[in-house]
Amino acid sequence: MTGRRDGQDAPARVAAGAPSCPRRLVVVGGGTAGWMAAAAFSRFLESGWQITLVESDAIGTVGVGEATIPQIRLFNAALGLDEDDFLRATQGSIKLGIEFVDWWRQGHRYMHGFGATGRDLGLIAFHHYWLRAHALGLADDLGVYSANVTAALANRFDRAAAQPSQSRPYMPHAFHFDAGLYAAYLRRHAEARGVRRIEGTISRVNRHPESGDIGSLALESGTEISGDFFVDCSGFRGLLIGEAMGVGYEEWSHWLPCDRALAVPCARVQPITPYTRSTAHEGGWQWRIPLQHRTGNGMVYCSGAISDSAAADTLLAHLDGAALAEPRPLRFVTGRRAEAWRGNCVAVGLASGFLEPLESTSIHMVQSAIERIIAFLPAGKPDARAIAEYNRQTAFELERIRDFIILHYKANERDDSAFWRQCAAMPVPDSLAGRIELFREAGRIFKDGNELFTEVGWVQVMIGQGIVPERWHPLADQLSPDELRDFLALQKHLNTERAKSMPPHDAFLARQCAAPADLEMMA
């Protein structure tokens, strides 16, 4: 979404062929997914739509998606949200990338930073020059040539410094935020635009006997909510898409064996680092997400490799501050719905599938689903071809993100546990196996259509996980060793000086978007 910031209606509103009578869209489930959907629909659908969100205060939300990728800025801007106001309201902080600790080998770390790494020269990408310099002993770690990685590890950020120039490439950023506060923030925004919220628990889903479409929802209170189109944001349960519509689930646990998580907040520590950290442990990995008022932590693990109690002990032993609650358990099955859209029902968020939040894609997948719905939402009866294309695009996106996450597990040289040895030995999807071999051979990497992750992202993780090609594009040989050394040194120098010009991340937050003290008490 790339809507304007002036508060006027964006031109992407669904207007062609819109009926004169109101159409009824019902979102089932609140939380981040539900309120992101309701807020976006209230902004971008034709005014004839009536939007209702049904949620139960008795049903909790998962709320582990507190780290994001830069595309969230487009979503917020399209809604007309002010970035500083959003950060204040959600106890937010800045994110420049993700640090991976102990993933390739114990004691090793690298960062997947947003934005460019180095500067492409001539017809070939920067990493080919780095590969040659690395082989000659002239290169530092790949991360020092990334502006984002350099600033992140220096704990510095300035929004003005993120603007591109001839010598300074674009430096994108994302956010860490409290997912519960974000949902509440979007709820206020959506209700101000006319979204109606109904509190209650759904007891029955009524379907049309002939078409099989959903006609209405019956609540335990006796209220019945009719609709023309339903968006299932009911979480893992998949109340509409799974239970009512009978859409099956494609499981990917043979590639991604983690099936449980524990989440716990701890006291904030200084400095508030502008990056997410992922640390590999026996049987899984731990996330660390720094917010203004606390640090979010969690352990994603395989129940067949480590017990629940041992996972909790590992998590609590590696917190930066005192735990503020007992670890909250979650269970999941990695995979996706066979169809995200069937009939007049489309699933968004956890109802459509689950991929562990290793690369902070959970909220982005909600965002991209909402964008597709707006693009495909029919003015009249759903078109079978449009639904099929929506499902194809959804499957493609999830499968490519799946491959990127599998790469972190597959390309490891840890020998400390059966879990990591099994991950290294497991067969992977052909789509990933081919990409690994193409890169391993001579550093070749290509983006496949509209997949999420760029070539630069793939290169950072491939090399970070120990896949370093022995050959590079021969055009990189045109520089002499001295020219090559100077070229890389200049990229490193520019990034170092750029980071020095920025204020500490803590100082930026205090100056621009410090959350009020009473919000800390509410969170």
What's the pLDDT tens digit per position in 215-245? 999 999 999 999 999 999 999 999 999 999 9
Closest by CA to 93, choosing from 519, 520, 381, 513, is 513
pLDDT in tens, 31-40: 999 999 999 9
What pLDDT shows up at residue 254? 96
Closest by CA to 245, choosing from 343, 382, 348, is 343
- Please, what CATH class does the domain formed by 23-66+178-251+334-381 belong to? alpha beta
Mean pLDDT over the full length of the chain: 92
pLDDT in tens, 353-380: 999 999 999 999 999 999 999 999 876 6
What pLDDT shows up at residue 22? 60
Q: What is the 3-state secondary structure (H, E, C) of 385-419?
A: HHHHHHHHHHHHHHHHHHHHHHHHHHCCCCCCCHH
Mean pLDDT throughout 343-358?
A: 97
What pLDDT shows up at residue 383? 87
pLDDT at residue 12 greater than cutoff 50? no
Exposure string for 289-307, b = 16+ CB within 10 A, e = fewer: bbbbbbbbbbbbbbeebbe
pLDDT in tens, 78-121: 999 999 999 999 999 999 999 999 999 999 999 999 999 999 99
pLDDT in tens, 43-86: 999 878 999 999 998 766 555 548 999 999 999 999 999 999 99
SS3 breakdown of the chain: % helix, strand, coil, rounded to 5?
40, 20, 40
pLDDT at residue 162 greater than cutoff 70? no
Annotated active-site residue in 95, 410, 447, 500: 95
Task: Report CA-CA distances (Å) from 470 to 155, 442, 460.
Answer: 33, 7, 16
pLDDT at residue 17 greater than cutoff 50? no
Query: Which DSSP string do the residues of 114-166 spell out, in sequence order?
Result: SS-BS--BTTB-HHHHHHHHHHTT----GGGGBHHHHHHHTTB--TGGGS--S
User: What 3-state DSSP class applies to 446?
Assistant: coil
Mean pLDDT throughout 156-177?
A: 80
Element spanning 49, H or E: strand 49-55
Integer Cα distance of 164 and 171 in angstroms: 7
Please give the share of the chain, as a percent, with pLDDT higher than 90.
Answer: 88
Integer Cα distance of 153 and 294 in angstroms: 20
For the beta carbon of residue 481, count every other beta carbon within 10 angstroms. Answer: 12
pLDDT at residue 429 greater than cutoff 60? yes
Is 447 among the catalytic positions? no
What pLDDT shows up at residue 15? 38
Mean pLDDT throughout 274-293?
A: 97
What pLDDT shows up at residue 517? 81
What pLDDT shows up at residue 46? 80
Sheet holding 345-347, edge to edge: 196-199, 49-55, 23-28, 229-232, 345-347, 341-342
Exposure string for 195-218, b = 16+ CB within 10 A, e = fewer: bebeebebeebebeeeeebbbbbe
Mean pLDDT throughout 442-449?
A: 95
Task: Report CA-CA distances (Å) from 385 to 208, 336, 398, 408.
Answer: 21, 21, 20, 36
Integer Cα distance of 115 and 97 in angstroms: 9
In this prediction the pTM is 0.93
What pLDDT shows up at residue 47? 78
